[in-house]
Structure 1
Amino acid sequence: MGQVFWKFLLAFWGALILAGTLVWAVNEVSRSTDDAAKPVWIGPQLRLVLGSAQLMMDSGGIQLLGDVLQRWEDDPMSRDKVLLLNQQGDDYLQREVPEHWAELLKEQPEYKVQDKTGQSWFLLAVPRHEFLLDWLRSGRGMAQASLSTQPTQKSIEPRGLEPPFDYKKSPRGIMPMPPIWFHPAFLLAAILGTSLLVSFWLAWYFASPVRQLKQALQSLASDHWLTQLGPKVTGRRDEFGAVARSFNQMAQSVEQAISGQRRLLHDVSHEFRSPLARLQILVGLARQTPSESAMVLDKVEAETQKLNALVEEILTYSRLESGAAAVKLQQVDLLELLESVAEDGRLEALSQHKQLLVKADTKVQVQADPDLLYRALENLIRNAIKFTAADTQVTVELQQQEQQVQIKISDQGPGVAHADVAKLFTPFFRGQSKKDGVGLGLSIAKRAVESCGGELQLHNLYAASGIACGFQAVIVLPLVLKT
């Protein structure tokens, strides 16, 4: 168990002990602030005590009653001190009596019993204000009480009802030994043990998720990216559960980022391998057939241009992904920018016996980087021209809504497998297509649109019969509000 557990344990245990001590102290102070001169017996208790005292007085005289009161005081379980006072205010057991108690005897005549000679004796009970001191020496007091001598009065049989125990056989002479679980030492041990168990459970309850989180972080630091905290921690409905769930999400994000980096490195290596291999073949041909060196050099130049384009796309994607690209936002006339892209797209479409149609009713202004937005539109339109069927058209619609504008680019091609739609933004993913390209165009377009504060959506188009009849890319951009 770590240091956090022991800190929690000591803190909880100390708090419980302190709280118990404060409760005891407040109780003792409240008892001590009461009028100590007033007896604590009232009602039925008063009649029972006085009746029992008079019974003892009639049976054994003042000596028996005094012996019982002495044993009462010696009993560590008794919290009240009972004084037996004569009419002058002197205690029979020669204990110290407050000065004003003599006056109290005149005001409390009901607290008296009479001996055989007719002399009145007064019984007054007062809480023990020195209870802590009495409790600390309770073990010695009980031992002394259990070894005390029997009453000097012999063969005394109390009149009236028989007591619920045989006082002559009791080792105390008058009162039986209290059970062990009433002993203050036993009670103290029980209180400390219970508080320790409660503190142990609380410390374990709070320290356990901290320990598991620490182990998970150490595992994550050791490159175990799939580390996850179990449901015992994530299922908690407190802050520890929230932290555990956040940790699992963070670990998943880190794992996805690491996996993406590894996949990107693998894909980049794969994309470079083919053109480099072709360059090596062309160099070999040039050496074997010097007469065809001009043709070989043209092919080398073409492969070099492909490599340069690949490197440029990788660098562009990397800058957009990391946020290092210099984004220059400004007001852009979207219709004008769209017509500029469509002008080059129409020529490419005509060369493939296809058409490009732009539908736009009004001019709109957006806040965007014109170069990044141009590149995204160009990529999406060229993709649509590439995949639409021959003798069909690609439609580009510009629609203005409340506070945003949508650019819908639709083709009439075969569409994309439903399972692959979500993967189209993954770098170097080309799905089932075998056409030219490295699979970075859509990834770059998505990052470019997001850099302009917009969103790029992709989905298949379906006919009324439910058959796929094309594919559509939707760019959503916020409008520039006119002031």
Structure 2
Amino acid sequence: MFSLRIEHLGRLFWKLFFAIWLSQLTAVIGVGAVFWMHRYTKDHEAITTSVSLHGPAVREVAASAALLRAGGISALRELELETQHEFHPPVYAVNEQGIDVLERPLSLSDWENVQQLAREGRYPQQIRTVQENDGHRYLLFIPEHAQQFDLKRPQHPEGHFPPNATLLPVLPVIMGLLSSLLISAVLAWYLAKPIRYLRAGFQSLANNQFDTQVSHAMGRRRDELADLGREFDRMAHQITTLMAAQRHLLHDVSHELRSPLARLQAAIGLARQQPDKIDTSLDRIEREIGRLDELVGEVLTLSRLEAGVTHSVKEEFDLTELLDSVIEDTRFEASAKHVAVNYLESHDIQINADAELIHRALENILRNAVKHTPPGSSIQVEIDSSLDGRQVSLSISDQGPGVVDEQLTSVFEPFFRGSGNSQIGFGLGLAIARRAVEVHGGSITARNKPEGGLQIELILPNGLG
């Protein structure tokens, strides 16, 4: 089981683990090397000077100098005799002839080296010159090679190091390594854990499990990886929505194609059974082919807009002039129903957009209004620009039955038909209009007017700023 858990950690975990551990190990080794070099330098300097330079040497030499001044050479000699076999560092007191008070051995080279350091004034705390009352001068210091006491580490009371003294430096090293291993493992686990959840989420998406969510598995994290998990959830939700819309679109297209194809089959069968009515059947076939061509054209337009493949070319043009052209065509179609299209011409409004898409959107909205406006009524068109000139608002109102309030947001969905309008159009016009407006960064909304009828409002940025 442990081996399986190790395998499931993934390559990223081990990369993070070794990267963090090696960085910690490098830092520890670097700091240790600095301290070691400092210690080595001091030890080397002490060896070359023949004098102990460690902290205890300063204290012992100072005490011996004070005793020499207060009690004379006899007091210092008595102290050194009493403590030479005890746990005490040997302080040498050497006269001008190079003889120690206890006549302890001192090589000529070491003595000359100590005299040179005293003349240069180096290490005044470790090498002290004291003049006795009788006029004799003594140099007080502790030789580095003294065997009775090691100033660099504590001794056992018997004068020997404890048996396990060599293990003392090893313990911190081992504990440091174990601590760095533990910290590296925790950090690597903390960083790699959300990546594993994201990987599992992508695998679920690849297996068509579009309801996959990973943000809840991130816990209470408040970092970029948690943000990535939330973005993954949003992406999964968007994919789910798009897939559902695609299935719905395929279903609706199939349904819409079935009716004209059935009428085509009926017209062909009628032509075969009644050859004398061939012209009537051909006219029927021509109309159905036209409806099929229109349906396929609108589906292709909608699919391109949905996929963002419009090949649109933006250019600066006068929106009021384009609107005049669309209204002129709409009035010709509306005249058959005795429907008036009222429009109060406005000043020139320049925008930078795809004129073809904007024309298609306005045409679809106006044709939809004509279809749902009863004969003898009118359609109202209004256009205006914002005070700063950055936006253009356009509203188109009809006097039709309107839409149930709960369905106002659905009128822009593909193949939507309101209650009682199942035979009017394909339900793609307003969907194409919405996509065309959104491509330009605008918005489109629908609302029921209090006096009756539906009002479509468009807001478009002028695209000139």
Superposed pair shares fold, TM > 0.5? yes
1:64 maps to amino acid: H
Per the TM alignment, residue 4 of structure 1 is displaced from its structure 2 partner at its CA by 1.8
Alpha-carbon distance in 2 for matches of 1:373, 1:343? 16
Map residues 301-450 of structure 1 onto 2, 5 A cutoff: 301-388=286-373, 391-401=376-386, 402-432=389-419, 433-450=421-438
Per the TM alignment, residue 395 of structure 1 is displaced from its structure 2 partner at its CA by 0.5
Per the TM alignment, residue 227 of structure 1 is displaced from its structure 2 partner at its CA by 2.7
3-state DSSP of counterpart to 2:16: helix
Map residues 278-317 of structure 1 onto 2, 5 A cutoff: 278-317=263-302
Per the TM alignment, residue 273 of structure 1 is displaced from its structure 2 partner at its CA by 1.6
Structure 1 residue aligned with 2:459: 476
Structure 1 residue aligned with 2:245: 260
Alpha-carbon distance in 1 for matches of 2:428, 2:79? 113
Per the TM alignment, residue 358 of structure 1 is displaced from its structure 2 partner at its CA by 0.7
Structure 2 residue aligned with 1:167: none
Alpha-carbon distance in 2 for matches of 1:61, 1:245? 80
Aligned mate of 2:55, from 40, 43, 52: 40
Contact 2:61 2:141 in 1 (8 A): no
Where does the alignment leave 5 or more consecutive residues of structure 2 unmatched? Answer: 1-8, 67-74, 131-137, 146-151
Matched, 1:15 2:2: no
Structure 2 residue aligned with 1:203: 188
Per the TM alignment, residue 290 of structure 1 is displaced from its structure 2 partner at its CA by 4.6
Map residues 153-302 of structure 1 onto 2, 5 A cutoff: 173=158, 183-233=168-218, 236-302=221-287
3-state DSSP of counterpart to 1:275: helix
Alpha-carbon distance in 2 for matches of 1:234, 1:360? 59
Please identify, of 29-38 and 312-321, the stretch whose mean Cα deviation from structure 2 is larger. 29-38
Alpha-carbon distance in 2 for matches of 1:201, 1:111? 60
3-state DSSP of counterpart to 2:344: strand
Per the TM alignment, residue 307 of structure 1 is displaced from its structure 2 partner at its CA by 1.1
Alpha-carbon distance in 1 for matches of 2:287, 2:360? 22
Aligned mate of 1:459, from 426, 446, 459: 446
Q: Say if 1:190 and 1:370 are closer, same or farther in 2 by CA, change over 3 A.
A: closer
Alpha-carbon distance in 1 for matches of 2:323, 2:175? 84
RMSD of aligned alpha carbons: 4.5
Per the TM alignment, residue 384 of structure 1 is displaced from its structure 2 partner at its CA by 1.7
3-state DSSP of counterpart to 1:228: coil
Per the TM alignment, residue 357 of structure 1 is displaced from its structure 2 partner at its CA by 0.8
Alpha-carbon distance in 2 for matches of 1:406, 1:186? 78
| Count of residue correspondences | 414
Q: Say if 1:444 and 1:93 are closer, same or farther in 2 by CA, change over 3 A.
A: farther
TM-score (structure 1 length as normaliser): 0.69
Contact 2:61 2:140 in 1 (8 A): no
Map residues 47-58 of structure 1 onto 2, 5 A cutoff: none
Q: Say if 1:300 and 1:193 are closer, same or farther in 2 by CA, change over 3 A.
A: same
Q: Say if 1:478 and 1:206 are closer, same or farther in 2 by CA, change over 3 A.
A: closer
Alpha-carbon distance in 2 for matches of 1:176, 1:240? 55
TM-score (structure 2 length as normaliser): 0.72
Contact 1:349 1:355 in 2 (8 A): yes
Contact 2:60 2:91 in 1 (8 A): no
Where does the alignment leave 5 or more consecutive residues of structure 1 unmatched? Answer: 70-81, 113-119, 128-133, 136-141, 147-171
Aligned identity (percent) is 35
Per the TM alignment, residue 405 of structure 1 is displaced from its structure 2 partner at its CA by 2.8
Deviation track 1:93-113 (CA, whole Å, cap 9, x = no partner) reads 999x9663477799668899x
Alpha-carbon distance in 2 for matches of 1:323, 1:337? 24
Per the TM alignment, residue 181 of structure 1 is displaced from its structure 2 partner at its CA by 12
Per the TM alignment, residue 200 of structure 1 is displaced from its structure 2 partner at its CA by 1.0
Contact 2:61 2:91 in 1 (8 A): no
